[in-house]
Structure 1
């Protein structure tokens, strides 16, 4: 499955190519509880087709009717939930208010194509839109290379959004747990890669929308060249294979490196890395093991759910290590 950003932009480009008026809607500010974060996107075409979401369904019906019947001709801001009556009418939760940027895309085909190309080639870019506030033409959107302190935000009359590549997940091992993890991760927008040099596992893999990387796990990690939107999870239960992946993964830029097994298994693994491979305590500290959140998972689908819950927390900027300190958070059936 492709990232939501990419799908929204592809829907916008298709609408433009078919000659429709297309409006790109962006969440630029939220107050109170928000169903969607700042930067979320929605494409609306004048034929009534749409893709994406800015409120999880609270305001979409009203917004779609407005944008289909009367597409905006210039960049503008609209707000939902300014009054208690309006919040109640639209079902916005906990007093929430949404501030949205409405951007007509007619004539912006090349801009949208550039964004699609950036995401598809795993580049991250910042796109800026200036809201003129007059009847004059709005300043054309500008793209530039992303910097680490860039984030989606509205400053005065300047809206900045960050468009990045799809998230990637490299799974070491092609067993049953890996199958469930791959199927669930697809729904969350990951591009899935699998590595398993064992012929019987490789030949029995039947999960769609996944890509096999040939060779051993260390080769797979090097080939993938992990970046900060890449997660690596070792699930073979075979130290000879899992450790090969970890030797490369813990030296990479991957935002998540995890390994299946109990506390004892992972303690011994960390000791091996320290004693025999000259890893530092800081490097070994990056290893998430036991992998996944402590939800009492025992079956393969439950383990996959635990892993994706932890990945989702980290993607959203929540590190729960402190909350889990001292708990037996082994999500797998390996208690040895």
Structure 2
């Protein structure tokens, strides 16, 4: 399952290869309550077909009309990026459905042979973090290896956007639940690695775009260079595998470490991990039962609960306080399989 950005970029490149005129719209600035965050993308074809989103729909409608009328980049005019702002006045904000006086600014980029979309897509699909720099004066783009930085920077002359998986997710276990977690995580733009040394599970893994390894879990954690942009979730229910990963993961800078199982099983797990010199402070980092309490029962529902909690932690939400407030005393936080 592609991330939102990847889906938009693939579509824009495909339309351009078909000989269509394509405009890539990027949200570069917002003021007030804008419907979409900075970095949101929209591809608009000359006949009004679109992929992606930059607002609740009204701005898309305006861009569609302008594309159909040939107003975005009139025939014979230079194919150079332009900057446009929506919601400057109260009337315009109302017209375009921008709440609370919201305003947003877009860079409209006509796709050309200088846009480097295929090089960008190739890099993303190889799980590389890359930076695309668009020069507004010339319309030329460059794609270079990236580092962790703001997703988008705009100074009026250059648009600098970071693409590729800025976050990684290591899943221990290749069972049914891992399949859903992996697919949903890809849509959230995680680079997903699945670790399972068991023959019966490794032979059946077939999720496209997910890296798979049969190394032992502790070796994978030690070898992958875990950083604050990494999440690690143990999903096998097998202490021989889950505990091996957790005893190393809890010592890393991973922003999220979780394990499936009931509260009773989590208590037993913590006692086992203490035998491997995992400290009390390190154990407080373990999210378990894994996932937010949403009444989840099926594997897809549990996958949603896990990724919901990961997303909250990534954005600095105190999920432990919420768990204490809302989780029934008899619940296993959805992770009953």
Distance 1:201 1:9, change over 3 A: closer
Counterpart position of 2:294: 295
Tell whether 2:104 aligns with 1:106.
no
SS at match of 1:59: helix
Shift of 1:292: 1.1
The range that moved more, 322-331 or 161-170, is: 322-331
Contact kept? 2:185, 2:307, Cα under 8 Å: yes
Tell whether 2:333 aligns with 1:331.
yes
Distance 1:185 1:145, change over 3 A: closer
Counterpart position of 2:63: 63
CA distance in 1, matches of 2:122, 2:140: 19
Shift of 1:226: 5.3
Query: What do the CA deviations read for 1:156-215 (whole angstroms, capped 9, x no partner)?
Result: 544332222275543323444434434544554555544444555556667676565335
Counterpart position of 1:77: 83
**What runs of 5+ residues in structure 1 fail to find an aligned partner?**
132-136
SS at match of 2:159: strand
Counterpart position of 2:92: 86
Counterpart position of 2:5: 5
Shift of 1:281: 5.1
> What count of residue pairs does the alignment treat as equivalent?
327
CA distance in 1, matches of 2:201, 2:183: 17
Query: What do the CA deviations read for 1:76-127 (whole angstroms, capped 9, x no partner)?
Result: 1112222333333332334322211111232314x32332233223332333
Distance 1:290 1:328, change over 3 A: farther
Contact kept? 1:180, 1:301, Cα under 8 Å: yes
Contact kept? 1:130, 1:157, Cα under 8 Å: yes
Superposition CA RMSD, Å: 3.5
TM-score by length of 1: 0.79
Contact kept? 1:126, 1:143, Cα under 8 Å: yes
Distance 1:15 1:184, change over 3 A: closer
CA distance in 1, matches of 2:201, 2:143: 44
SS at match of 1:153: strand
* 1:177-196 mapped onto 2 (5 Å cutoff): 177-190=177-190, 192-196=192-196
TM-score by length of 2: 0.79
Tell whether 2:117 aligns with 1:118.
no
CA distance in 1, matches of 2:165, 2:2: 10
Counterpart position of 2:102: 96
